């Protein structure tokens, strides 16, 4: 997971320098919200529920954007995403004996 987080942060830093945007958790969270909307639009178009057209690759590209900005947000906010998932969702799994 750390390799993906490092990659996402490196790309976000390039984006921030190119477009003069802040390197903050706030900005990453706003971009995450924007990308979630784009994912919804791509999915609806792919499912034929929109006037737009999108294929499976368009949906996958938007998933990558959502995941990337989620990882950037986590890095900027000091959250370990794997640990957060394990701590929150993992508690619902049956314990192995």
Residue 18 lies in a domain: yes
The CATH code of the domain that includes 37 is 1.10.287
Residue 85 lies in a domain: no
Domain span holding position 67: 2-80
Residue 47 lies in a domain: yes
Buried b (16+ CB within 10 A) or exposed e, 62-93: beebbbbbbbbbbbbeeeebeeeeeeeeeeee
Each residue of 33-77: pLDDT tens digit? 999 999 999 999 999 999 999 999 999 999 999 999 999 999 999
Domain tally for the chain?
A: 1
Residue 89 lies in a domain: no
Q: Work out the pLDDT band at 96, boundaries 50, 70, 90.
A: confident
Percent of the chain's residues with pLDDT above 70: 99
Residue 63 lies in a domain: yes
């Amino acid at each position: 997971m750390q390799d993906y987080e490092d990659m996402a942060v490196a790309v976000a830093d390039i984006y921030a320098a190119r477009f003069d945007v802040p390197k903050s958790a706030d900005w990453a969270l706003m971009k995450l919200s924007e990308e979630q909307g784009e994912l919804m639009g791509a999915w609806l178009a792919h499912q034929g529920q929109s006037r737009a057209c999108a294929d499976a690759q368009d949906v996958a590209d938007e998933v990558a954007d959502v995941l990337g900005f989620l990882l950037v947000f986590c890095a900027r906010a000091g959250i370990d995403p794997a640990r957060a998932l394990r701590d929150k969702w993992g508690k619902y799994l049956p314990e192995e004996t």
